[in-house]
Structure 1
Amino acid sequence: MARPETLSAPEGDVAAGPAPELSVVVTLFQEGATLDELHRRLTAALEASGRSYEVLYVDDGSTDGTFATLERLHAGDDRIRAVRLKRNVGQHPAMHAGLSRARGDVVVTMDGDLQNPPEDVPKLVEAVEAGYDVASGRRAARHDSWGRTLPSRLINGMLRRFTGVAISDFGCAFNAYRRSAVEPMLGAIGRQKFTKALVLSGGASVVEVDVAHAPRQGASRYSPLRLTRLALHVLAGFWPQPIQTAGVVLGAVCTLASLALGVYGTVYWITESNFPGPLLLGALVVAVLGVQGFILALVGEHLGRIQRVVEHRPLYLVDKEI
């Protein structure tokens, strides 16, 4: 796949030899303890599929010896490629580092935390080979806490509304893509935090595939603050004309609230001769301030995105590539 010019990091030569049928991109962060098991299960599933393949591991700034394990795995199998980023930049920029280097006609993306079972890779690939651009993984039985599933449902609902794509699990990183569907979006992947939603928003055909979901080993890296920022990113990235729409909604709500309060105050004043103005006025002011704060947060997200584009900041810097 073509590599965008915005990446200022030194990138290694394209792997020699004929392009494989399948590329698997695995993002890793502090996965040194389980990487050997992941690799064993993944290569077993790929060998059983009978397709030629390569595995691209992207170490997203781990400090637990993850890359040393990758060097050892590469020494035993030249189909294993690895990239180490200079610091932790997040899942989707790290995914871009793998997608931009993938050579297969079909590209599978997955996390390296073993919540995505490698044994389901052939199932996703077969769905793409059946004629779809994207095989979207759907976690049939999620093993996450309510603190993760409730925000996930909210974000999925927003993405369905704003992209017009009726799938149920935008947040699942376990997917298979036809290479031709990913290439046009490479310039935006990584800057947008939902790679699958970005690819599908371009009109790619999609089928949902149920995949297993294992319990998480260790605590989730998505804090409530990070989930809130993720929701704002969805609104700024996929909601068409969000500021204008928010302004219209705010104006309509405030107008209706003013009319309702006016009618209530008039009726109460006539019937009771006592209008509770200070309390209702205070509630209205607080509500308006809350809406204004939300809009300011949305504006801040937009300004931050504009600043990053104008400054041409690289998504990541590559420390080492094998």
Structure 2
Amino acid sequence: MDYSIIAPAYNEEKNIKPLYKEIKKVMEEIGGRWELIYIDDGSTDKTKQKTKKLHKKDERVKLISFKRNFGQSAALQAGFDHAKGEIIISMDADLQNDPKDIPKLLEKIKEGYDCVCGWRKNRKDPLIRKKIPSKISNKLASLTGVKLHDFGCTFRAYQKTALKDLNIYGEEHRYIPSKLYKKGYKITETPINHRPREHGKTKYGAKRLIKGSLDLAFHIFWNRYSLRPVHFLGTSGFIFMVAGLLIGSYRVIMKYLFGEPLLQHLPQLILVIGLVLFGLLLIIFGFLTEILKKIYYENKKSYNVEEKI
């Protein structure tokens, strides 16, 4: 298989068939063997039924249906896990991504990049609810080490080899380029066309923005300390211990050089003991997390498939 197009869908019944027609036209012009995988993320409308009808007419259309709504990251992960193509293209199923831009992504892949990200340079979304939060999120996301204009764009192309050991959870689909960059893969971006939504409702809101921000904070931490957690905990523990020892040394100096009784400063002595012990505990926890890292749940899945055709 040459290409796999994966499209997470949640209540997109009116977009399933039109998207298929657009993708089919583009992929037949490109040539090669391809498949289109719709991931029904627990839809409550007829998304699954519409996809099944397409599958009966064209077996290149595949369906992965979840038992409930697991979120976009889980849907993309399921698509990556089941894709057979050497090049994997992910895109939204809401028709806002233009399949005509697929050749632009593939051109960059041919240049030797492992991940090509779409950049919605001229977004067709509401200013307050989407554009401003997106700009803020993109600025913060750049702290992960990858300089991209649009971390939130699902429209991307990947070499299959780059996704081999990838596991994403929560809202981590935004930071796939950062995860790949950390592993040494080549990342780039290209401007794409972005169209206004015509059918269905947007799934983006304040709740998702908050979750995404929390995932970003954790991702920055994980990028820096996941391989050596003892660096974070050990450094913190060392700082606490040094603070405690400095305070303790000061009190000892004041006693033996200036005659100040230690018992008059009992709260400070208790603080010294607390700081030293807490610092020591952090260092010990650092070593324990190094051990736990070895048995981290890399092979666990964040979704539950109900049906696959």
Query: Which residue does the alignment assign to 1:288?
Result: none
The residue aligned with 1:92 is: 73
Matched to 2:215, the amino acid is H
| Matches for 1:1-322 after TM superposition, within 5 Å | 20-146=1-127, 147-161=129-143, 163-185=144-166, 188-191=167-170, 192-194=172-174, 195-217=176-198, 218-239=200-221, 240=224, 314-322=301-309
CA distance in 2, matches of 1:74, 1:90: 23
* 1:115–1:156 CA distance, 2 compared to 1 (3 A): same
Aligned partners of 1:201, 1:176: CA distance in 2, in Å? 18
1:198, distance to aligned residue in structure 2 (A): 2.2
Matched to 1:220, the amino acid is: T
Higher deviation after alignment, 102-111 or 202-211: 202-211
Deviation string 1:256-315 (CA, Å, 9 cap, x unpaired) is xxxxxxxxxxxxxxxxxxxxxxxxxxxxxxxxxxxxxxxxxxxxxxxxxx9xx77x9741
Residue of structure 2 in register with 1:298 after alignment = none
Q: Is the 8 A contact 1:133 1:178 kept in 2?
A: yes
2:165 aligns to what SS in structure 1?
helix
Shift of 1:54: 1.0
With 26-35 and 233-242 compared, the bigger mean Cα shift is at: 233-242
Cα deviation for residue 224 of structure 1 reads: 1.4
- Shift in Å, 1:219: 4.0
Kept after mapping to 1: 8 A contact 2:146/2:177 = no
Paired AA for residue 124 in structure 1: L
**Identity fraction in percent:** 32
Query: 1:231 is matched by which residue type in structure 2?
Result: S
Q: CA-atom RMSD, angstroms?
A: 2.5
Deviation at 1:206, TM superposition (A): 1.7
- In the alignment, the residues of structure 2 paired with residue 190 and residue 49 of structure 1 have an alpha-carbon distance, to the nearest angstrom, of 33
Unaligned runs of 5+ in 2: 227-231, 237-292
* Structure 1 Cα separation of the partners of residues 180 and 136 of structure 2: 20
Aligned residues: 240
Partner Cα distance (2:188, 2:301) in 1: 33
**Shift in Å at residue 114 of structure 1?**
0.4
Deviation at 1:171, TM superposition (A): 0.8
Q: Is the 1:60–1:90 contact (alpha carbons within 8 Å) kept by the matching residues of 2?
A: yes
SS at structure 2 position matched to 1:56: strand
Aligned partner of 2:102: which letter?
V
For residues 2-46 of structure 1, the C-alpha deviation after alignment (integer angstroms, 9 at most, x for no partner) is xxxxxxxxxxxxxxxxxx111111111111112111111111111
* Structure ranking higher on relative contact order (CA contacts 8 Å, 6+ apart): 1
- The structure with the larger Rg is 2
Query: CA–CA distance in 2 between the matches of 1:56 and 1:166?
Result: 29
- Which residue type is aligned with residue 318 of structure 1? V
Cα contact 2:162–2:180 (8 A) shared by 1: yes
Segments of 5+ residues of structure 1 without an aligned counterpart are 1-19, 249-305
Are 1:23 and 1:103, in contact at CA under 8 Å, matched by a contact in 2? yes
Deviations 1:43-75 (A, max 9, x none): 111111112111111111112111111111111
Which amino acid is the alignment partner of residue 87 of structure 1? R
Judged with a 3 Å threshold, the aligned counterparts in structure 2 of structure 1 residues 313 and 208 are, in CA distance, closer, same or farther, namely closer
State the Cα deviation string for residues 233-273 of structure 1 (Å, max 9, x = none). 1001223469x79xx9xxxxxxxxxxxxxxxxxxxxxxxxx
Q: Mark the CA change 1:315 to 1:141 in structure 2 (over 3 Å): closer, same or farther.
A: same
